[in-house]
Homo-oligomer: A and B are copies of this chain.
């Protein structure tokens, strides 16, 4: 017999396999396949390791990685809300909190609490780790869009001012990456990937 604690942990691990089926707006470079949340989370985690040196303050990088690895789990039940979908954003918090309760509580209490608080910390974007993770969460799709001729930016209603505003989150936590994001946006307008 496997003890209850381990059974619950394995149940959670099997359940989160579904993150591989939650699709995002952008595509994987060189393909027409939509990226999914598991791929996005992995890519962000490696980016955080490589780019943490640019943080304007000291970071607990272990906390950053944990936060990144779990930040999109709530989308398993709540779905991906496109970042420029104002309608979808209205009930996003409620949908995601319900999803978090349902999913994280598969785990033993202590671990459910840890993941819940990592997710809330990420969402609140108030600590250095959360601000850095949020910055990487902006930069990752920016790089993908830039390298796929502006794939997502070709949707109706997306203009450079919205993209710039969304990426301005980077300014305080990682100034050099904010410079980079602005250059990529300017260049994307010049290349015709993004409407001014």
Contact = CB atoms under 8 A, between A and B. Distances in A.
Question: How many copies of the chain does the oligomer comprise?
Answer: 2
Nearest to A44: B42
B43 A180 contact: no
Q: Is the interface of A mostly helix, strand, loop or mixed?
A: helix
A159 interface: no
How big is the A interface, by class? 35 or more
Given A6-B176, A38-B42, A39-B38, A17 B61 contact: no
A10 interface: yes
> Which of the listed residues A2, A13, A18, A20 has the most CB atoms from chain B within 10 Å of its own CB?
A20
A31 B36 CA distance: 14
Interface of A: 2, 6, 9-10, 12-14, 16-21, 28-31, 35-36, 38-39, 41-43, 45-47, 49-51, 54, 61-62, 65-66, 69-70, 107, 111, 143-144, 147, 176, 179-180, 183
